[in-house]
Structure formats: structure tokens, C-alpha cells
Amino acid sequence: MINKVVPNATAAIAGLESHMTVLFGGFGLCGIPENAIAAISKTDITGLTCVSNNAGVDGFGLGILLENRQIKKMISSYVGENAEFERQMLSGELEVDLVPQGTLAERCRAAGAGIPAFFTPAGFGTEVAEGKEVRWFNGKPHILEHAFDAPFAFVKAWKGDEAGNLIFKGTARNFNPVMAMAGKITVAEVEELVPAGTLDPNEIHTPGIFVQRIFQGEKFEKRIEQRTVRTR
């Protein structure tokens, strides 16, 4: 059995270089690989194209890399919680490619399944379809979308073992399983790292064959993205 454990986040990001396309799991602040992001923020890597459901918030998640000017382009489906993102986008400092959420997920899943491209009706008749091939299926127009080609994917799981098998907890599963499939090198940070054979095979969400490196995170903040309360 291959032991895929690396000692920390710094070792886990080895080989990541400027101008690469990188996948980041998570939805809002739920299930984001915050330790890996923090490690990247301490490097001189720049010009990244980041694929993520969103761009974090100011001062946390991918928001840190935005503030450091380490991201050249964001490919996302939602970007409304980050003021620095908005400022960079409106000033032209940051390239932005907004993608329907289902299309974003399928472009990841397709990459993991070895499917180079697919047709989808989502986005036809909008700016999303500009410059893309259109075909008609069952009387409806569909646009051609390509699978992501990403050297690295960073995901976060609740539990993992030395062989890279992963279990996600609740809604933190979100984009993480499909992004784990899609990266050529998938790095998983986990809250709890256990010996191989400890996890129940019936509970594993992502098999270790998709994971090349795994480490136990040192710090997880468990932030609430939008705290909503009511007066009594």
C-alpha cells in the first residue's frame, strides 16, 4: 500500500507553480481547504487560475490569495460575498469566468471520468454561450463545455486514512468529491487522519485512488459566512 501522508500543508503544496490552474473544494466557507490556502499564501506563487464555487470572503479562504494578488483568474459560480473580489473585477485586475453551478460541477466530474467535453442546455442564450459550439438535442439547444485540465486539486474532508480514502461530513461534501476526482495531483486535508483499514468501506465518499497526498490540518476555524439572528 502506498502511504500518501505528508507532514503538513507546506509539504502538501510542493510542485505548485505560478500560472497553474487549481481546483479548490468548498461551498461558501463550508469544506474549504483552508490550511492549504494558508500555505499557498505564504509563497511567492502568482498568476493562478482558481476554480472554486466562490472566492471566499475578505480575509479568509481564497480571499487571502486575492488580497495577496496571487490569483489572475477566477472560474466560479458565485462571487457575491467578497468586497476585494468585486473591487479587482470592476477595476480589471482580475479575470472572471462565471459558470452555472451545475456546469462547474460537471466539468470537474467529467475530468475525473475521462470525458473531455459535454453538451448542456445551461447558459444557452446568455453570455455563458458566447463563442461555444451549439447543437440541438431533443429539440433543445445545448452548448459545448470542456472538462477542467488542472494539475492540482485541493479538498478538505472530515476523516481520511493513510491510503487517501475520504469521508466528508454533511454539506461540507459539496464540490469536494468531484474536485478530488479531477485533479492530476489531489491534495486532501482532513480533520482526523487514521490508519488504513480503520474506515468502514461502505462510508467512504472518495476512494483513495483519486488522492495523491493527504495531511491532517493544524487549524480549522469553522467560520459562519453569514450569521443570521432574530430579535426576541
Is the CATH number 3.40.190.10 carried by domain 9-117+149-216? no
Q: What is the mean pLDDT of residues 146-163?
A: 97
pLDDT of residue 26: 94
Neighbours of 229 (CB within 10 A): 5
**Nearest residue to 153 (alpha-carbon basis) of 29, 5, 6, 26:** 26
More confident residue, 216 or 1: 216
**What are 152's strand-pairing partners?**
22, 185
119-125 CB contacts, 8 Å cutoff, 24+ apart: 119/143, 119/144, 119/145, 120/145, 123/99
Residue 216 has pLDDT above 80, yes or no: yes
Q: What pLDDT digit, counting tens, does each position of 95-138 carry?
A: 999 999 999 999 999 999 999 999 999 999 999 999 999 999 99
Measure the CA dihedral 124/116/73/39, to 10°. Answer: 140
Q: What pLDDT digit, counting tens, does each position of 13-56 carry?
A: 999 999 999 999 999 899 999 999 999 999 999 999 999 999 88
Residue 173 has pLDDT above 90, yes or no: yes
Supply 98's cell numbers: 462565471
Q: Angle 70-66-155 (CA atoms, 0-180°, nearest 5)?
A: 85
pLDDT of residue 209: 96
pLDDT of residue 50: 97
The rounded percent of the chain whose pLDDT value lies above 90 is 85
**Residue 230 pLDDT grade (very low, low, confident, very high; cuts 50, 70, 90):** confident
CA-to-CA dists, residue 106 to 8, 14, 93, 129, angstroms? 30, 27, 28, 16
pLDDT of residue 1: 72
pLDDT of residue 220: 80
